[in-house]
Amino acid sequence: MALLIDCIKTFCLEQGLDKTYWIGYSGGLDSHVLLHLCAQLRKQYPIRLKAVHVHHGLSIHAEDWMLHCEKICDQLQIELIQKSIHAKALTGDSPEEVARDLRYAVFAELMETDDILLTAHQQDDQAETLLVQLLRGAGPKGLSAMPVIKTFAKGFHARPLLSLSRVELKSYAEEQQLTWINDESNEDKSFTRNFLRHSILPVLKERWPTVTKTLARVAKHCAESEEFISSVVREDLATCRGESHRTLSIKKIKMLNAMRQRQVLRAWFMQCGFSVPSSIKLNQIQQDFLKSQADKLPLIRWGKVELRRYRDELYLMQPLSSFDTRQIFSWDLRQSLVIPGIGELSTTMTEKGLSLNMTQVTVRFRQGGERCYFPKRRCHQLLKHLMQEWAIPPWERDRIPLLFIEDRLIAVVGFFLAEDYQGSPGRQLHLR
């Protein structure tokens, strides 16, 4: 008993007694032990505790579980917040992952700045997670399994019982005469984690009694290795930045060996908020994007992501929405103009910009043959050639709004404004 209480006590003293601690409380054995330990700690220190129970709508017993959680929290005098979600998985989705994602979305919505969410994951959970990741073919990041604490929502997500075994938690629960819920879904071996828990780990424990502790140590070693690898990759990623916003320089990436190239690409995808492609697609990217000639325009897609190349740079983006370049809009410059599939045009006052006398223009898109006039050069230049000079990627060129007065092109938003239509003060054009 003392070991478990000291575990929670040490954690909360390290994190601070002025924080609000949210306890993910399912009503099961592990979360009840965590809830009870926190209640015992509150007798020594005035920590703020709140419990959250999520009704997933997956069990016929869910209503009874809610009543059970209310009863236990009343006994321990801990505020309980109950939320209901619809966790039914679509075809092809993992029911476990859908329920987990929705549950954590509830937690995230409740938490304020610097709050800490506590969940009752323990050593056996860590071992199961590592095995799941191993069977998925994960690398050091996946094999790092679950950290004790990490940033989450506006605060943090912590697992203070991660060094303790399921046996130790059950012994505490029996000693304290706790009552808990037995979720029937935990016995369903069609779920990977349950299969490992009931069919694989018991066999391993017969041969190696301390296997869960060993696997937890493996996860810790992998976490340390991953942190070192990540520090190297962060340096490589910073070095490989392109000249344009959120791009990578192919010339710089090619200075790395093939392994470090893949690490930088993965890190870049994640930093940009996109999913990481399969190993096969990564190899294809290295072949088709990094080794192709500079005048090539390769494109590869996965999920809701597009990777493109233009000159020396890689561009990562969401797929371009469909857009009819033949559209023509009449625009009152004093108002914003929403162009479906492109964005919103607007103006702001600036020291020098489009003449204030201008209030009405026509907005069109490139059809071919457009020219811009430069008085100092006393010549017209094809917009096609100018866009090449401005290094505008080809897929963006037909989507840049062009401003016309009658048939004269007077502005290319973000790149060109005819001198004889400039004023001081004037209007600065924006496309968002």
Give the pLDDT confidence score for residue 87 in this predicted structure: 65
Among 296, 317, 338, where does a domain finish?
Answer: 317
> In terms of residue numbers, what domain contains 122?
2-220
Q: Is the pLDDT of residue 93 over 70?
A: no
Whether residues 73 and 186 share a domain: the answer is yes
Q: What is the mean pLDDT of residues 365-375?
A: 87
Q: What is the mean pLDDT of residues 169-178?
A: 95
Whether residues 210 and 300 share a domain: the answer is no
Give the pLDDT confidence score for residue 92 in this predicted structure: 56
pTM above 0.75, yes or no: no
pLDDT tens across 226-247, in order?
Answer: 999 999 999 999 999 998 888 9
Whether residues 24 and 120 share a domain: the answer is yes
- 231 occurs within a structural domain: no
Q: What is the mean pLDDT of residues 1-5?
A: 81
Domain total in the chain: 3
Whether residues 84 and 142 share a domain: the answer is yes
Return the minimum-mean-pLDDT range out of 2-11, 56-65, 153-162.
Answer: 56-65
Contact 344, 335 (CB under 8 A): no
Q: What is the mean pLDDT of residues 411-422?
A: 86
Whether residues 256 and 312 share a domain: the answer is yes
Give the pLDDT confidence score for residue 393 in this predicted structure: 92
Q: How confident is the model at residue 379 (pLDDT cuts 50, 70, 90)?
A: confident
Q: What is the mean pLDDT of residues 285-296?
A: 84
- 290 occurs within a structural domain: yes
Whether residues 276 and 340 share a domain: the answer is no
Q: What is the mean pLDDT of residues 332-345?
A: 86
Q: How confident is the model at residue 178 (pLDDT cuts 50, 70, 90)?
A: very high
**H helix intervals, 21-86:** 29-42, 62-76
Strands (E), 145-227: 149-152, 155-158
- 225 occurs within a structural domain: no
Whether residues 205 and 338 share a domain: the answer is no
The strand pairing partners of 132, in sequence order, are none
Whether residues 166 and 256 share a domain: the answer is no
Radius of gyration of the chain (CA): 29
Q: What is the mean pLDDT of residues 177-186?
A: 89
**Residue linked to tokens 């938490």:** 111
What is the percentage of the chain residues whose pLDDT exceeds 90? Answer: 54
